[in-house]
A and B are shown apart, each in its own frame.
Chain A
Amino acid sequence: MSSLPFSPAVPAGAAAHHAERARPSPRRLSAAALLAISWLAPALLVLIWELAARAGQVSPQVLPAPSKIAATAWDLIQQGRLISDLFTSLLRAATGFVIGGSLGFALGTAVGFSRLAEALLDRSIQMVRAVPFLAVLPLVIVWFGVDEGGKIFLVSLGVMFPIYINTVLGIRQVDPKLLELGKVTGLSNGQLIRRIVLPGALPSILAGVRYALAVAWLALVVAETIATSSGIGFLAMDAREFLRTDVIVLTILIYAGIGVLSDAVARLLERRLLAWHANYAAGGRR
């Protein structure tokens, strides 16, 4: 039996062995190919959308063709509206981010370092944080009307908490053994903070910044669509009056684009500032 050329007894093991060898080889895609695919897939989606719109499958009232949206964007740019509205929105987001971020960082630093500051401030801050910040919108409109102040206030409020929480957390998580080292090296309190505490807290703080950027946009979209007379949100609301779906979709895309861009900036910041950290060093993470 065992002398037969295709006796099942012997090749069973051999076949399994062969299969194991063969496993890694079937068409491993290179990193470049995978990257190309990851961009081609959405491009294909846009192409299908364009073709469907041109074939009359999708009503322009529901979803205008990408080419129509691009044309609208060009028109609005030439009228000067798009750029000025975009600038207005960016300025609001940036101002709110700086105010809310500085406040969150200052409070977080105080609470992170001092048990007294924690006793004084933390419970109140956590209570205010428990309120969904968009719930205060009606109050903000009563306080500020449709002025800039209301939008900046709302963005600041949204940005403050993630930065506050991550700053406190980052400072509390600094390795006590490194603080001890600082002490035996004779560092002053100022040097201790600058050389050990803040760098140690930085990964956590930057994670807060990244999250806060997303919150800033959310706050801005809501604020601009409800009470405003300029900005990207106003562009969308104005377009709604005239059923200009193309303008509405354009503003949505702009919000998306800015969101992606701000996340990229946050990542770049992480990569630059956390070059020492194995997880963030170039090539360490994509």
Chain B
Amino acid sequence: MNSADIAVDVHGLRRRYGERTVIDGLDLRIRRGEFVVLLGESGCGKTTLLRALAGLDAVDGGRIDGPRQPAVVFQEHRLLPWDTLWRNVALGLDDATGRPLAEAALAEVGLGDRLDDWPRNLSGGQAQRVALARALVREPRLLLLDEPFAALDALTRIRMQGLVKQLVARHRPGVLLVTHDVDEAVALGDRVLVMRAGAIASEYAVPPQANTHRAHPDAVALRERLLGELGVASDALACA
């Protein structure tokens, strides 16, 4: 594979907190334009992995070959309350080139008419859309999403998932989405990884029809298997 097609390549990553090994010899490769979802129970190390890729935490071993500065969207929007929306999106770019780029990015997430508004006037979903615009404005090679929809209501979450899918198809970064939500994983992912005890325990390719049709037999079957992987036995759902 051409190295320009690779968003990030992780070899034998290791991370310890004191005695406890949180990530233990993890390998991962994400191609540009590929949407990878990382599922796992709380404490399995998936957020640790994302923070290591983001350059926020040091690693104790292994190698990460990827962009020095991937874009990150967190669970909270983390907008600067003292900057208008366009200045939030253009954070880190210089004002002259930043303004038109921010305008375009905000228009893409449907907030093109709110350039000079303050973050405090936004709903949770709108704020998260601005955070998404801020992440994409630099055309990142790698986009890290840390449960970005977890704090949103169910309807807003579905709309946001659609928007993310569409934006990723257009900008084609490699994506790593960390989530608890099996439905979300099946709806968005090209590939779903299940993480357990600091390593990738299993990997599933998601058939394209499972992305688009919730009720497709492939989607249903994959959800079942993933729930099983996460320790939720399917007979626990039998009554549903």
Contacts and interface: CB of A to CB of B under 8 A. Distances in A.
B56 A277 contact: no
Contacts of B56: 180, 183-184
A186 B74 contact: no
Interface string A173-205: 000011011111111000100011001101000
B122 to A, nearest CB: 12
Interface string B81-118: 11100000001100000000000000000000000001
Contacts of B188: none
A276 B54 CA distance: 29
Contact of B92 (A180, A185, A276): A185
A278 interface: yes
Given A177-B74, A177-B76, A186 B92 contact: yes
B72 interface: yes
Nearest to A275: B118
Nearest to B68: A186
B199 interface: no
Contacts of B76: 177
Nearest to A186: B69
Nearest to A202: B82
Contacts of B119: 276
A177 B78 CA distance: 7
Contacts of B74: 177, 181
A195 B83 contact: yes
Contacts of B71: 184
A89 B166 CA distance: 66
Contacts of B120: 276-278
A274 B71 CA distance: 29
A84 to B, nearest CB: 42
Given A178-B78, A184-B71, A184-B72, A276 B55 contact: no
Contact of B80 (A178, A186, A274, A278): A178
A276 B78 contact: no
Q: Is the interface of A mostly helix, strand, loop or mixed?
A: helix
B174 to A, nearest CB: 16
B82 A187 contact: no
A275 B80 CA distance: 13
A277 B71 CA distance: 27
Contacts of A278: 120
Contacts of B81: 276-277
A166 to B, nearest CB: 17
Given A184-B69, A187-B91, A276-B120, A195 B54 contact: no
Contacts of A178: 78, 80
B92 A196 contact: no
Nearest to B71: A184
A193 to B, nearest CB: 13
A274 B82 CA distance: 7
A276 B91 contact: no
A199 B72 contact: no
Nearest to B75: A177
B91 A199 contact: no
B82 A199 contact: yes
Given A185-B91, A195-B80, 17 more contacts: A177-B78, A182-B91, A183-B56, A184-B56, A184-B70, A184-B72, A185-B134, A186-B68, A186-B92, A195-B91, A196-B80, A199-B80, A199-B83, A276-B82, A276-B83, A276-B118, A278-B120
List of 10 A-B pairs having minimum Cβ-Cβ separation, nearest first? A199-B82, A186-B69, A276-B82, A181-B78, A185-B92, A184-B72, A276-B118, A278-B120, A184-B54, A185-B91
Interface of A: 177-178, 180-187, 191, 195-196, 199-200, 202, 274-278
30 contacts: A178-B78, A178-B80, A180-B56, A181-B72, A181-B74, A182-B91, A183-B55, A184-B55, A184-B56, A184-B70, A185-B69, A185-B91, A186-B69, A187-B92, A191-B92, A195-B80, A199-B80, A199-B82, A199-B83, A200-B82, A202-B82, A274-B82, A275-B118, A276-B81, A276-B82, A276-B83, A276-B118, A276-B119, A276-B120, A277-B81
